Structure 1
């Protein structure tokens, strides 16, 4: 399913990039890489990310080996993240890691993917798999890059998600208790017993999950 979503997203991004190119009189060709890069940056600065995506396509098509491409991809990933378009941000990060996956580059790109996934959460109840997957990514990152400048932030994300998972398990256990299914409730409580998070460490959300998760 995840592979299908990534494929569909890639197709949508490609269609969007190829789509709004304007009339023939507005189209431009065979420009230097710096020209496309600067034009893309102007669109990012003005908040027109759809146009920036289209311009990036021109940069990439005409100058596939340009050293400006990886930097442009990172800028677009961050811009889409700032605009709360987390799936598009992850799309650019995935492409970046495929092409420029050196140790140093992956350290930054993987952090940005974790950050995008974290801020992409909308409902802990509906996004339980995303929570679990992001927890795994965060823990792997901490092991793989213990001295990274981003590791303290990944620790914070991991802590928030671990607390969220603990509360979700407690809520599910309580639901099974109310339905007179003690054995099912016990399964979820045991999951919490094996982790390092304890109930006394958590202040349960009083104003809804969404705000609490990012406080």
Structure 2
């Protein structure tokens, strides 16, 4: 009797669990939208992504999708997930954006790239890509209300690129390659920035141990002092 009762209870639990899972399909668009918003507000972006996918797959023409896409983009940006934020912004621009919404989404794309650079000295390519995006935005929206914020980001990026170029120039000097050093010093960020007026940011000690301060590194003694063939050619041509 007890054995039969246990089997019955297990069966009820299993079937009720399956039934609960089945209830999570074929729901109204409002249901998925509300679940997504709740998950975002709770900081559970994995669940939010899942609910968004259900909304998009089951209700491909839903008017909720435009706002839901922008919510997901901003949520991922708030959680420092900038590649995912850019994905949702591209989707929003491609499928749902009005002219005003497109301007805002394009601005957020530049901002996402900017925020993805906590240590600009480590990603020269992303600095250039972000600056190019900022310039394109200014060309497309010359009277945008977002220009003050964009100009601030652009200034910081130009300063970061100037410091990075100087660090690379100093590295070439230590390697005995004057041509490389001269090349990077000739790459002035913009005419309105004077390289000698740039105040270099303080590098935390735990990063400076491995990255150096731009002028030298703890591993300098490991770099051979002999000049290679390229270095000799550089000196001979000067």
Whole-Å separation in 2 of the counterparts to 1:24 and 1:202: 65
Q: Which residue of 2 aligns with 1:168?
A: 164
In the other structure, the counterpart of 2:106 is 110
1:63 aligns with 2:42: no
Corresponding residue SS for 1:29: coil
Q: How does 1:119-198 map to 2 (within 5 A)?
A: 119-192=115-188, 195-198=191-194
Residue 202 of structure 2 aligns to a residue whose secondary structure is coil
The answer to whether the aligner puts 1:35 opposite 2:31 as a matched pair is: yes
Q: Which residue of 2 aligns with 1:85?
A: 81
Please give the TM-score of this superposition, normalised by the length of structure 2: 0.73
- In the TM superposition, what is the alpha-carbon distance from 1:101 to its structure 2 partner? 4.4
**DSSP-derived class of the 1:191 partner:** coil
1:195 shift after superposition: 4.0
Give the drift of 1:25. 2.9
CA distance in 2, matches of 1:23, 1:90: 36
The equivalent of 1:18 in structure 2 is none
2:20 is matched with which residue? 25
The 1:193/1:154 distance shift into structure 2, 3 A limit, reads closer
Rounded to whole Å, the distance in 2 between the matches of 1:117 and 1:32 is: 35
Task: Write out per-residue CA displacement over residues 102-127 of structure 1, whole angstroms, 9 at most, x where no aligned residue.
Answer: 43222111111111111112432331
- How far apart are 1:190 and its partner, in Å? 1.1
Partners in 1 of 2:78 and 2:50 — Cα distance? Answer: 18
Alignment-derived partner of residue 12 in structure 1:
none
The higher radius of gyration belongs to 2
Unmatched 5+ residue regions in structure 1?
1-21, 211-215
> C-alpha distance in 1, partners of 2:154/2:92?
24
- Which whole-Å deviations, capped at 9, do the CAs of 1:78-99 have from their partners, x for residues lacking one? 1111111111111111111121
Q: SS where residue 96 of structure 1 aligns?
A: helix
Measured in 1, the distance between the counterparts of 2:37 and 2:189 equals: 50
2:26/2:58 contact within 8 Å kept: yes
* Structure 2 residues without counterparts, runs of 5 or longer: 1-16, 208-238
For these two proteins, the number of residue pairs brought into alignment is 188
Please identify runs of 4+ aligned residues in structure 1 that moved more than 6 A: none
Q: Is residue 158–residue 189 contact of structure 2 (8 Å, CA) maintained in 1? A: no
CA contact (8 A) 1:142 1:155 kept: no
TM-score, with length taken from structure 1: 0.80
SS in 1 for 2:120: coil
What CA distance in whole angstroms lies between the structure 1 residues aligned with 2:18 and 2:106? 38
Separation (CA, whole Å) in 2 of partners of 1:100 and 1:193 = 37
